[in-house]
Amino acid sequence: MNKTISKVYIAADHRGVGTKLYLIEMLTAAGYMVVNLGTDDPNTMVDYPDVAASLASAMDGDKNARGILICGTGAGVMIAANRYRHIRASRCDNPTQAREDRFHDDINVLSLGADDIDIEMAFLCAQTFLESPFDNAERRIRRIEKIS
């Protein structure tokens, strides 16, 4: 477990509820403080821009927080989340991608497509995302400052 992470905020639209609930269970068991921002009902339609907005709001001001967003494709929540200057979200389908995106781009939000990966792979992606460091090289910091 990465002890520098203050909280893991997690939110999903109706298509990502099952994956979200599984991740909450697994990440809590791994020792992370997980904050569930909803939705918990797969039968209640929720718009993915609203899900991303609630996560961005919760993470605002906490540089040590991480976020996980889930929708059917993972693309919608990623696009919506990246509207916020303090969010750097990336859609990942495998742990290697999650590790590389943390290392090179210091992503602070993992976006997952519930329709595209199974829950075990989603957990591996989340675990890798939370445990992987950022490179901190001057050139990477310079690039991130240009988008933040």
Catalytic residue numbers read 71, 104
- Cα dihedral 38, 43, 45, 49 sign: positive
- φ/ψ of residue 90, rounded to 5: -140, 140
Tokens 């997980």 sit on residue: 34
**Can you tell me the distance from the alpha carbon of 63 to that of 66, in angstroms, rounded to the nearest whole number?**
8
Cα–Cα distance, 59 to 5 (Å, whole number): 12
